[in-house]
Amino acid sequence: MGGLRLHDTMTGAVREFTPLRPGHASIYLCGATVQGLPHIGHVRSGVAFDVLRRWLTAKGYDVAFIRNVTDIDDKILAKAAAAQRPWWEWAATHERAFSAAYDALGVLPPSAEPRATGHITQMVELIDRLIETGHAYAGGGDVYFDVLSYPEYGALSGHRIDDVHQGEGVATGKRDQRDFTLWKGAKPGEPSWPTPWGRGRPGWHLECSAMAHTYLGPAFDIHCGGMDLVFPHHENEIAQSRAAGDGFAQYWLHNGWVTMGGEKMSKSLGNVLSIPAVLQRVRPAELRYYLGSAHYRSMLEFSETALQDAVRAYSGIEEFLHRVRVRVGAVVPGQWSGRFGAALDDDLAVPAALAEVHATRAEGNRALESGDHNGAMSAATSIRAMMGILGCDPLDERWETRDETSAALAAIDVLVQWALASRQEARTRRDWAQADEIRDRLKEAGIEVTDTADGPQWALSDADGK
């Protein structure tokens, strides 16, 4: 099960993955703050770290995967109030939207999906531990973490202590404005819970530390999230958890943003692409392929051109598998190639893994056209295994829900092969006009023909370039 290397944000280096318990992998992913509808930037982390989970499982690990829901937050309260809706209804409505988006893109359900509001007791216990050890204090109805009490503060983000700004604004109860809020005192009209320090609600950073400890214990293997969470969220998680005596995460993985025009996709910029909107233009498996195709640590610059390129790439894989099934027989998942495994072991290098998928597809096409059915089937079964780990195997029942899709492609393949054979006969007779006419008629029907060294290859297209 060894061989996996992951880039650890804490050390800034790629490290060999060695779990705390042999054969087990424990992962915590910072999930959604359910303040609004999910866009593709929100779900990229879900797709990226779903690949990590699938790869660990494929390598034989027993994986515990926790993804939280932040269902109490300043923005949730503000947006619910603006819409004149109860805060809990607002949060629940958008939590369902996130769950639907994850499911639509084939993201596996987490082992547990705890909500912040369901773990107030654990948060109060954590605050108690921090106050008892001198790392936290109450002031002005709130409770704060004393940043200077934790000498390693800044190790994850690289922030110098003198440059720390929590983004919380000035608070009269703080001893030092670099301290961050663990517990917010109750305000009129806001939800609150009773504590030894008065009624109030949790601070954002406190939530994840308490929930990670509850489900994964005082120390666990991997903490994941978007790179925008490195500071202050993850830095503060580390400080409060380790100050309380927990070992916390051993590896820190952060995914890059989805950008538009070089800017992070966000609601404030107005450049939001909701999941339902995108799924009106492409199929769920195609969107998953697109979001997962770049290296998880890289920025993914969204464009319609890039999205359609991904659609064509995915469709090419899909069409090859269907052709093998029609001409040779049922295709079951086989074994991924060594190059594919080596790519994913190298810090989840999905671009290199996909290059191996497409190289295998090219080999399979050559085998299919030459009549080597064993070679074509071997390539197809390997592709199913590799695409399954990437979460978008075209022949998986979740993506292939209608039998008529296969039937239609089978019928098309028979007709196209007849047309290509006629075209080849015309070329043999040097009747270039008839050969070109056949190719043009196929193009008019939405079928692109490409002449290669291994014979003509065909693929479906349409007016939008699919």
Report whether pLDDT(453) > 70: no
What pLDDT sits at residue 409? Answer: 63
The confidence band for 447, taking pLDDT boundaries of 50, 70 and 90, is confident
The confidence band for 443, taking pLDDT boundaries of 50, 70 and 90, is confident
Residue type, 292: G
Return d(Cα 115, Cα 344) in angstroms, integer: 31
What pLDDT sits at residue 266? Answer: 73
Return d(Cα 408, Cα 396) in angstroms, integer: 18
Return d(Cα 463, Cα 85) in angstroms, integer: 43
The confidence band for 422, taking pLDDT boundaries of 50, 70 and 90, is confident
**DSSP letter assigned to residue 401:** -
* Minimum mean pLDDT range among 57-71, 294-308, 396-410: 396-410
pLDDT cut 90: percent of the chain above it: 79
**Is the torsion defined by CA of 286, 290, 293, 295 positive or negative?**
negative
Helix (H, G, I), strand (E, B) or coil at 27: strand
What pLDDT sits at residue 157? Answer: 96
So what CATH class is 5-255?
Answer: alpha beta
CA-to-CA dists, residue 146 to 16, 92, 106, 235, 245, angstroms = 34, 33, 42, 13, 15
| Per-domain boundaries in the chain | 5-255, 407-466
φ, ψ dihedrals at 360, nearest 5°: -65, -40
| Paired strand residues for 273 | none
What is the pTM assigned to this prediction? 0.86
Helix (H, G, I), strand (E, B) or coil at 133: coil
Q: Mean pLDDT across the chain, nearest whole number?
A: 92
DSSP E strand stretches across 261-410: 263-264, 300-301
Give alpha helix (H) positions in 390-457: 403-428, 432-444
CA-to-CA dists, residue 7 to 251, 259, 294, angstroms = 8, 22, 15
What pLDDT sits at residue 466? Answer: 39
Give the pLDDT confidence of 89-146 residue by residue, as tens digits: 999 999 999 999 999 999 999 999 999 999 999 999 999 999 999 999 999 899 999 9
Contact 248, 220 (CB under 8 A): yes
* Minimum mean pLDDT range among 109-118, 137-146, 264-273, 433-442: 264-273
Question: Stretch 215-236: mean pLDDT, rounded?
Answer: 97
Report whether pLDDT(77) > 50: yes
DSSP character string of 79-91: HHHHTT--HHHHH
Question: Stretch 369-380: mean pLDDT, rounded?
Answer: 96
